[in-house]
Chains A and B, each alone.
Chain A
Amino acid sequence: MRRMLFKSLVHGPLTEAAPKADDAALAELAAQVDRTARLRLGRTLSIREVDAGSCNGCELEIHALNNIVYDLERFGLRFVASPRHADVLLVTGPVTTNMREALERTYQATPAPKWVVAVGDCARDGGIFAGSYACVGGVSAVLPVDLHIRGCPPSPITLLQGLLALLETVERSVK
């Protein structure tokens, strides 16, 4: 183990440089910034992920954000265990009717100010599952959504671009 630790000291980190924030996401957010709210947050955002019926593909890529290549925490973005600690709800899936109540209660448990980011094509409008008796069809049918990140599933880079856009919007509003 010592040998491996030493090696990683010598070789430097495997973490890669950050991508630019996504322009489309910046545009979507620009209209929804609440200056006083952002003031309180500084430049960190705590994220609570909620799977509302995803196939688990989005979860795999969201997980990847935490790996050493993308290292999400260096941007002040981190995943937290409880909605009580969260500023952002990251919601995946077409919102199944069986998860609707749990999603609503998670939202209610999140203190304001809060933002909802819908991740994946099925979180946008139900995607391929639209029209099912068991799906509400998109996060915005249940909660106010501030940002959509497209993809099936979106790659970690796409996710990062979207989240950085959220963060930049927060910072810009503070200045």
Chain B
Amino acid sequence: MTETTPAAIKLRDVIRAGRQVENHSPWARAVINHEDWRQAAASLSDGQWTLLGLWAERDQVHMAIIDGGDLGLLSLPCEDKRFPSVGQLHPPAMRLERAIRDLWGLEPEGLADTRPWLDHGKWPPATFNDVAHEAPPLAARDYAFLTAEGESLHQIPVGPVHAGIIEPGHFRFTANGEAVVRLEVRLGYVHKGIERLMQGASIERAAMLAGRVSGDSTLAYALAFAHAIEAAHRIDVPPRAVWLRALMSELERLANHFGDIGAVCNDAAFAMMHAQCGHLREQVLRVADRCFGHRLMMDRVVPGGVERDLQRDSEQEVHSLLVQIRKRFPELVELYDNTASLQDRTVGTGIVSSALARQYGCGGYVGRASGRAFDARRTPGYPPYDRLQFEVPVREDGDVDARLWIRIHEVEQSVALIDQIIRQLPRGSIRDPAQTVRTSQAHEGVALVEGFRGDVLVWVRIGADGNIERCHLRDPSWFQWPLLEAAIEGNIVADFPLCNKSFNCSYSGHDL
């Protein structure tokens, strides 16, 4: 770091100075040179900009950035299959760059951590984008976990198969008695090669794949993918579809938050909250099923609109659900608030500092519980939220308790939002008749959508044949998993499930 603070560089100036890519919307994408790429990494490291995503294709790397209210993409052609590492200056980019090297064989020059990330040395050779895996980098058991030095330290390996009904991942604890000295997470176990499957796929098939990146956020992914396609092809979505999408989004948020609130309390051995919240979650899923014909609403949002309209009389169903939640949920909140034995476990446990949340651009309840008031429904924002009244709850404490309270407040906000949506739901068609735009050029689109867990980024390039040429989907968990490692430090091993559940990061969304 230099002694003098460099003058803030504006993202829009960098984009203007670069070569702007045509047919990219709604934000600009510019191809820049090495010098500007390094400067961008410095601006991220200084905290002037926030990293939204970093991904690659055969011969270039892209990063999505937010600078205040401005969003944009910077691209760097990689001659000799190399690019200057962003992670060497800005740690949140490190795992993204390790993934880029695994998947595309591009070398992030200067990246300190050279261990593979998604590649466990098990993929058949030369399958991903013709990147040759001549010698598998490392066998699973040879993966070198980061070390901790000191007296009486011991390691606890956990996973990938866990005790509960959860996704696979490996946690390596280094502990001194009960206290965690270091936690390192190893992921990639559920890497399915979704982005490779998308290449060359029709938009319909790609939309289904997007809806299966992380099942709990199927709606957020389907919506982000649809937004990106609609931006690329400049498709207007009928108003009724826009509002139905918001209804589905808020139902998804409600179901997940109920599940999480119950599960966090359950990990503190308070089963009654779990039972009650589990019942509320079930009611939400049943209403979703009756309204849209699928409990998780998979494949219901499609590019151009929604797949089906509300079933008859289901507005009344939604209304009854809201009545039930408004009657029962306050009692549960009171129960949480007044149970000292429960608060004893959650208050002060697993603290994430606001500085880390800001540095990592950490979204969702993890970011908002640590003072980062970011919500993609506000910035960049998308309809119909510009016509709806809602608050974005924020807290500063950053502990398990704060992450629980953010969820509680978001449940209240979602209930209020659904109420407004049902009252204002416009009539009309729900889907633009399929417009397969065939041009001689590729079109690119990008979107940021607020899922229950945080902001989901989707970038897509549609080829001249109307099929997907390249699609990247970035889960909010990329910027949350590293903070879990920070949150657990100094806590006891027995509080890890509680911390982990309060984050509820996606494995599948991260591993792709």
Using CB atoms and an 8 Å cutoff, list the residues of chain A in contact with chain B: 1, 4-5, 14, 49-64, 66-69, 79, 81-83, 93-94, 96-102, 106, 128-129, 131-135, 152-153, 155
Known A-B contacts A4-B335, A97-B122; the reply to A55 vs B168 at CB < 8 A is no
Measured CB to CB, the closest approach of chain A to B45, in angstroms, equals 32
Residues of chain A contacted by B192 (CB below 8 angstroms): 53, 94, 96, 129, 132, 134-135
Chain B positions 160 through 197: 1 when the CB is less than 8 Å from some CB of chain A, otherwise 0: 11011111100000000000000000001111111011
Would you give 24 A-B contacts (Cβ < 8 Å), ordered by A? A4-B272, A4-B276, A4-B335, A51-B165, A53-B190, A55-B508, A56-B216, A56-B506, A59-B165, A61-B295, A64-B282, A67-B275, A68-B275, A82-B163, A94-B192, A96-B190, A98-B122, A99-B189, A102-B161, A102-B168, A128-B209, A132-B194, A135-B193, A152-B298
**Contact check: which of A4, A50, A64, A100 meets B122 at CB < 8 Å?**
A100
Q: Which residue of A lies closest to B282 (CB)?
A: A69
Interface-forming stretch among B19-27, B123-131, B381-389, B406-414?
B123-131
Cβ-based interface call for B147 (8 A): no
Q: For residue B512, give the distance in angstroms from its CB to the closest CB of chain A.
A: 9
B468 to chain A, nearest CB (A): 14
Q: Across the interface, which residues of A come within 8 angstroms of B140, CB to CB?
A: 101
Chain B nearest CB: distance from A117 CB in Å?
14
Given the complex, which residues of B lie within 8 Å of A55, measured CB to CB? 212-215, 218, 508
Taking a contact as CB atoms under 8 Å apart, the answer to whether B212 and A51 are in contact is no
In the complex, how many angstroms separate the beta carbon of A39 from the nearest chain B beta carbon? 29
Add 15 more A-B contacts to A59-B215, A155-B295 (CB < 8 A).
Answer: A1-B335, A4-B335, A49-B165, A51-B167, A53-B190, A57-B212, A57-B296, A63-B165, A67-B282, A97-B124, A98-B190, A99-B160, A129-B194, A134-B193, A155-B289
Given A62-B165, A132-B197; A56-B191 close (CB under 8 Å): no
**A98 and B218 contacting across the interface, CB-CB below 8 Å:** no
B residues 296-334 touching A (CB-CB < 8 Å): 296, 298, 331
* A71 CB to nearest chain B CB (Å): 10
B296 (CB) vs chain A CBs: closest residue:
A57
Is B245 in contact with chain A by the CB < 8 A criterion? no
B positions within 8 Å CB-CB of A: 120, 122-124, 127-128, 140, 160-161, 163-168, 188-194, 196-197, 205, 208-209, 212-216, 218, 259, 272, 275-276, 278-279, 281-282, 285, 289, 295-296, 298, 331, 335, 338-339, 506-508
List the 4 closest A-B pairs by CB distance, nearest first.
Answer: A57-B215, A133-B127, A134-B193, A81-B163
| A81→B158 CA distance, assembly (Å) | 13
A56 near B188 with CB under 8 A, answer no
Bound-state Cα–Cα, A29 to B120, Å: 36
Min CB–CB distance A105 → chain B (angstroms)? 8
Complex-state Cα separation, A4 to B127, whole angstroms: 57
B residues near A82, Cβ cutoff 8 Å:
163
Across-interface contacts of B295 in A (CB, < 8 A): 61, 155
Q: Give the contacting residue for A153; candidates B190, B215, B335; CB below 8 A.
A: B215
Task: Assess the B272–A68 pair: CB atoms within 8 A.
Answer: no
CB distance from A154 to the nearest CB of B (A): 10
Whether B508 and A54, one on each chain, are in contact in the complex, defined by CB atoms closer than 8 angstroms, is: yes
How far is it, in angstroms, between the C-alpha of A82 and the C-alpha of B163 when the chains are bound? Answer: 6
Q: Which residue of B lies closest to A56 (CB)?
A: B215
Contacts of A62 in B (CB 8 A): 165
CB neighbours of A63 from chain B (8 A): 165, 259
Name the CB-closest residue of A to B165.
Answer: A49
User: Taking CB as reference atom, which chain A residue is nearest B125?
Assistant: A133
Task: Identify A69's interface contact among B124, B194, B279, B508, CB under 8 A.
Answer: B279
Tell me if B197 and A129 are in contact (CB < 8 A).
yes
Chain A residue contacts of B506, Cβ below 8 A: 56
Chain A contacts of B128 at CB under 8 A? 133-134
Q: Is the CB of B196 within 8 A of A133?
A: yes
Report B480 CB to chain A, min CB distance, Å: 15
Chain A residues positioned under 8 Å from B282 (CB to CB): 64, 67, 69
- Is A67 a contact of B298 with CB atoms below 8 Å? no
Which residues of A are found within 8 Å of B124, using beta-carbon distances?
97, 133
Q: Which of B212, B295, B506 has the most CB of A within 10 A?
A: B212
Complexed CA–CA distance, A135 and B281 (Å): 32
**A54:B167 contact, CB within 8 angstroms:** yes
Q: Which residues of chain B are within 8 angstroms of A101 by Cβ–Cβ distance?
A: 122, 140
**Assembly CA distance A62 to B166 (angstroms):** 10
User: With A and B bound together, what is the CA distance between A64 and B161 in angstroms?
Assistant: 20
A46 to chain B, nearest CB (A): 13
Q: Which residues of A contact B296 (CB under 8 A)?
A: 57, 60, 153
In the complex, what residues of A have CB within 8 A of residue B285's CB? 64
